Amino acid sequence: MKLNNNIAWTVDGKIINKAKYNEAMEKITAATFEEAGSLNHEWYVAEDQESIHIYERYQDADAALAHLKVWSQFAALFLEGATMDTFNVYGNVTPKLKTAVAGATNIMSRYGGFAKE
């Protein structure tokens, strides 16, 4: 079975300032859409309208690193709008990417499975 080199991550937290959160979501989403290696960028909110889950997927470690440069432009704004309680990274993380996401809650290496294209 075939696998890919995608890197994904999830963020879970809570909205603390809805206006700032919405502004961050709009700006980050627009910038990420323009990134060549971005594949998924999905923001979810729970029924309580406070708990959030963000799912992002990138073509490979280089694309994920490129996104982190974009993220750095908006990180302060995001953190004015929401907490970042967990940050889990998935995939075959390169040493350079591992350093860049050193604050991750977990780095999960691929153990098995498949990817359909």
Give a yes or no: residue 56 inside a domain. Answer: yes
What is d(CA 110, CA 69) in angstroms, rounded to the nearest whole number?
Answer: 24
Domain that holds residue 72: 7-108
Residue 90: the pLDDT is 97
- How many independent structural domains does the chain possess? 1
> If you average pLDDT over residues 21-50, what whole number do you get?
97
Is pLDDT above 90 for 36?
A: yes
CATH number at 88 reads 3.30.70.100
Rounded-to-integer distance, Cα 19 and Cα 9, Å: 24
Q: Quick check: is 44 in a domain?
A: yes
Structural domain contains residue 116 = no
Coil vs helix vs strand at 111: coil
| pLDDT above 70 coverage of the chain, percent | 99
Cβ-contact 14, 83 below 8 angstroms: yes
